[in-house]
Each structure stands twice: as structure tokens, then as C-alpha cells.
Copies of this chain bind each other. A is one copy, B any other.
Amino acid sequence: MRRGTSRDIRTANRYEVLRQIIAQSPTSRQELAAATGLSLATVATLVGELLDLRMITEVGFEDSAGGRPRGLVAVNASGGALIGVDIAETYVHVELFDLALNVLARADEDVRPGESLPEQVVGHVAAAVGSVVAQAGIEGARVLGVGVSVPGQVDRATGVSEYAPNWNWHDVPLLDLLTEHIAYPLYLDNPLRASAVAELWFGAVRGRGDAVVVNLGTGVGAGLVLGGALHRGVSNSAGEWGHTTIVLDGRLCRCGKNGCVEAYVGASGIMLTLRELCPDSTLLHPEDQTATIDALAQALRENDPVALKVVRETVKYLGAGIADLVNLFNPEVVVLSSWVASALGEPLVAEVREGVARHALPRPMAATEIVLSPIPTDPVCLGAATFALEGALQSVGQRPAPQRARQHGKNRTVTP
């Protein structure tokens, strides 16, 4: 059975202390104790561990009223590097971060429609990872890990992509394939969980207990933060909100079922709504979701009536779907994330707030804030890099233990 062991708690507390230091450097152990609710003794121990890991450094003292001067610590930005990989339907986006989670380098690779073989996608990832390390000009040994987000259902423990709907992958041993090219510790998960952990560490969920991060992209889903931590479910597939039923026997979804939320509010669902409402619209770029959503966003900013109509029709479903999450989870905050939400921006959020209020029960609704993700960069890259950071923090006091022990690859390896 699952339970909070004292080691889990210690790991969670270590996350929390580092999160606070990243958010506010320099800071004192006393401030950290006040901000986290942990005892000063616990904070002192955890700060000591982070100092040993060279993730933070001592940066001087501050006067305390009448007492001894207090030692100050700050994140040691150059103490290591983290890499986040966002594998999406049409691109691979990679960012390299310092330990303050500043982006030091970026690389993009297009994944063309024909390129659905795992080896092709892995080739793009390896090339982009090699590129960011070279651009940043850092020693490979300083890379603490690489987090990799791949759409669909993922077994983190074995590093297997169990099901990726866009390429129809079934049980692809993605981490094994990546290991042939990348010699850093690797951590695999999916975009729902990556964007949720990004919000939890650095975005709208910082300091909150219960939150839902709604991803609106080609696929849609909900990253769940419950009790201050990611909720994964028993087989790491929780959050498949995109495939909950909003219209029984409704539109066909790409999952093969009917009436799923995703069939109405995913990028291709929105395109279908546009086609139904206004078949000749110049906003429609057949076969190009990004161009269509961008055109819709631009038109929305100009108060174009067709764009407004499409958004309102979409929000009929989106509002009801998010109201379901509010009624079920009773969260403090619902964060709208991913590229469709970010393109349509605040005008979408305003419509969503009204749409949710029409369906949610008044009391949970009153307790919930609905906001756009405040993360200025790619939240999935940031979240993937955070998985690597969490991995490095988890291994404190153990032998270095990434998700699985990795050997150096056989060929084309990006070596430390």
C-alpha cells in the first residue's frame, strides 16, 4: 500500500525548501522556517544538505534585531544544469536551465508528419540536447539530468511510452532508446504532469494545496496537484480529463469514444467548430492547427464576430468541463496552460470564468480562482527540467539514482 513514509516527507520538505530559496534568494533559515512551516532544526538540516550538493551557497549575513547575525543562503545558479525536453506532435523543444531555472539555451527540431518512428523522434531529441549543451558551453558533468515529456500514457518507472495517440505508439521503450544517445540521467513523464509540476514549483500553484492545471493543446488533460503534491493515480495515468464525457453520444473523439471533452476543446475540435459555424472562414487553415489557432487569436483581439462565436461555442463545452473539475476536486486554483490557452489568452480566460460559473456549484466555485499560466517560457520544458531537479534531490544520501541506472550509450552519445 502507499503511505507517506518519513523518507517521502523528507524528500517533500527538501523540495519545499529549495522551492522557497529559488523563489526568494538570498534568504535566511529563519525566513525559510516561517515560509514553510517547518522547524528551524529541520530547515537547518535540509539547508546543510543543499549546501553539500552545491545547489545553494552561503552569501553573507543579515542583522537580526538584537540577536546574532543571520546567515543568508541563495540558489547557486551555476551549481549545475538541467535540461527539459518537450516532445510534441509537431516539434521537439529543448531548453537548458541553470539551477535558478533561468533558460541558458534553447533548441527546436521540427517533427514532420511522416516521422512517426520512435527512432526518428529520438534522433531529434538527441540532436537538440547536444545543441543546448554546446550552446551553453557547459561541461557535461554539470548536467544533473534530462527530463523528457512525451504525450500520452507513460510508465515512469520503466521509461516506457505506453501509448502515444498521435504516433500510435504502443509500449515503446523510449528511455532505453534515448540512453543510446544521451548519457545524462533521464526522467520520463507526460506533458500533463510536466506542466502541473512547473506550476507547483514556479507558477500559479506555488504555495497552494489543491489545484488543477488544465492543458489546452492538440490533446487536452488536467494535471492534478492534491495536498501540495502531484497526483499520479495507481498507474500514473490520472488526469485524463480530455477523455471524460461531456455529451453522451456526441462528437467522435480520436480516442475512438464519443462526446469526450477533447473532441470539443482540443485544437482540432476548435477547428471543427469553426468549420461548422463558418465553413468559408479565412481563419481556417486546413491541416494546420497552429496557424488556425493563431488566426483565431488575432481575430479575437480584433473583436471579430466569427472568432468570438467560435470561442463562445467552445466555452460552452470547456466551461462545463472545467466546472466538473471544480465540483469534483474543490481546488483553490484552476490554471489554463499549453499553447491554445496561451494563444487565446485573457479573452479566453474571461469567457471561461463565466462559462464555469454557469455550471459549477456556487460554493466550490466561490473557493476557486481561474487564471492563465503565469510561466513566461514553455511550461512543459520547465516541468520536465523540474523532474530532473526532483530526481537529483531524491538521490540525496543515496548513490546517484536517476529513474533507472543508465550506462553510456553505444553511438552518437552526447557525452558529459
Contact = CB atoms under 8 A, between A and B. Distances in A.
A368 B3 CA distance: 19
A245 B320 contact: yes
Contact of A6 (B3, B9, B224, B330): B9
Given A232-B330, A233-B364, A245-B246, 8 more contacts: A1-B207, A1-B208, A227-B231, A234-B332, A234-B367, A244-B328, A246-B248, A255-B361
Nearest to A240: B327
Contacts of A321: 245
A208 B2 CA distance: 7
Contacts of A68: none
A37 interface: yes
A363 B241 contact: no
A237 B361 contact: yes
Contact of A234 (B5, B210, B238, B323): B210
B3 A327 contact: no
Interface of A: 1-6, 9, 12, 16, 36-37, 153, 162-163, 207-210, 222, 224, 226-229, 231-241, 243-248, 250, 255, 257, 316-317, 320-321, 323-324, 327-332, 359, 361, 363-364, 366-368
A240 B364 contact: yes
Given A3-B16, A37-B1, A245-B320, A328 B328 contact: yes
A320 B221 CA distance: 17
A361 B4 contact: no
B238 A328 contact: yes
Contact of A235 (B6, B227, B328, B364): B364
Contacts of A330: 232-240
Contacts of A239: 328, 330
A324 B233 contact: no
Contacts of A329: 231, 233, 238
B228 A153 contact: no
Contacts of A6: 9
A327 B367 contact: no
17 contacts: A2-B210, A2-B228, A4-B227, A4-B228, A9-B9, A210-B231, A227-B229, A227-B231, A234-B367, A236-B330, A238-B330, A239-B328, A240-B327, A241-B327, A244-B244, A245-B246, A248-B317
A258 to B, nearest CB: 9
Contacts of A224: 328
Contacts of A240: 327-328, 330, 361, 364
A162 B331 CA distance: 18
A255 B247 CA distance: 19
Given A6-B9, A237-B330, A363-B162, A247 B248 contact: yes
A248 to B, nearest CB: 5
* Residue in A233, A235, A257 whose Cβ sees the most chain B Cβ within 10 Å: A233
A265 to B, nearest CB: 12
B209 A243 contact: no
Given A210-B233, A226-B226, A234-B210, A36 B3 contact: yes
